[in-house]
Copies of this chain bind each other. A is one copy, B any other.
Amino acid sequence: MAKTNIPWEARPAGCSDVIWRYSKNPIIPRDLIPSSNSIFNSAVVPYEDRFAGVFRVDNKKREMNLYRGFSDDGLDWKLDHDPIAWEFTDSELSEFSHRYDPRLVWLEDRYYVTWCNGYHGPTIGIGYTQDFEKFHFLENALLPFNRNGVLFPRKINDRYVMLSRPSDNGHTPFGDIFLSQSPDMVHWGQHRFVMGVAGGWQSTKIGAGPIPIETPQGWLLFYHGVLTSCNGFVYSFGAALLDLEQPWKVIRRGEPYLLSPQRDYECVGEVPNVTFPCAALYDESNGRIAIYYGGADTVTALAFTQLEDVLDFLEPHSMV
């Protein structure tokens, strides 16, 4: 995996929040490409000497699909004008229904993409690329109805490991995080419950966000939580720490959220009141973390934190 300077901006003076927003948010407007209605909930990785990404773009038909993008600095992005053309080995699986909310991870020898894939209902599609030119579809890891499938960046106990959130076929009003294991990325089992809804901002449903970050203390997981107000869902996000070897065991789980929809680009748009993280860049050398998140299901925004700060926050604010 390539080495690149991740985007960064220091914590604003006077700000005591664990996570702070990029001052020039949103970094990707809804109309970056001619056909786009909105661009959000997207995934990025360092690639060679720049950054590559897989983006959720809803076009003006309101089809949901995945688009490739590149950036030199992680802030200024160029996106293809056409969606990724997946290569399929089984034509049964190649019919397009919808693809959205991608995650992207370097694992062993390639970049795996997971996303919410429509196959007689939303489920978790897995594909990969080795060069960001050819993208291969592997299989749907799980049965419908599922969303927010997130791979761990390495095998654990000789098994690939994925988080996901079983759901239903609509705007699911429930949802807990489970973990599944696989010897081959195709067959998944040994499913374990990781954590369920809790109070307040995470009382309706929760779902894994970016690829978990490995730390000596455990896997750091940013995850979104949803509260149902009388006027709809509110998506915030927080953090948890999972056991390194038995990652379905929760070591810490923050009771307060870390970021909630408060700015115009988070509160106004296709779906008001959404902050939804799908990717995080982590620079181990200095502890910096840059989190990419969708605002109002309309635009892509960025927030920053330090690993240290998140761990320090979780310690006293954990419900576990």
Contact = CB atoms under 8 A, between A and B. Distances in A.
A13 interface: no
Interface residues of A, number: 72
A178 B297 contact: no
Interface stretch (A46-54, A140-148, A150-158, A301-309): A140-148
Interface string A87-120: 0000010000000000000000000000000011
Contact of A231 (B119, B187, B260, B272): B272
A119 B144 CA distance: 17
Majority secondary structure, A binding face: loop
Interface string A173-194: 0101010111110111111110
Q: How many copies of this chain does the complex contain?
A: 6
Nearest to A168: B168
Interface string A251-277: 000011100101010011111110000
A34 interface: yes
A270 B273 contact: yes
Contact of A183 (B34, B35, B168, B187): B187
A257 B68 CA distance: 24
Contacts of A193: 119-120
21 contacts: A37-B260, A60-B260, A62-B200, A62-B203, A63-B199, A120-B193, A123-B191, A139-B189, A142-B143, A142-B191, A143-B164, A143-B166, A168-B168, A181-B187, A182-B187, A229-B297, A231-B231, A231-B232, A231-B233, A264-B268, A268-B272
Given A35-B256, A120-B193, A139-B189, 19 more contacts: A60-B256, A61-B255, A61-B256, A62-B201, A121-B166, A140-B191, A143-B143, A143-B146, A143-B164, A143-B166, A143-B191, A144-B178, A145-B145, A231-B271, A231-B272, A231-B273, A264-B268, A267-B269, A268-B272
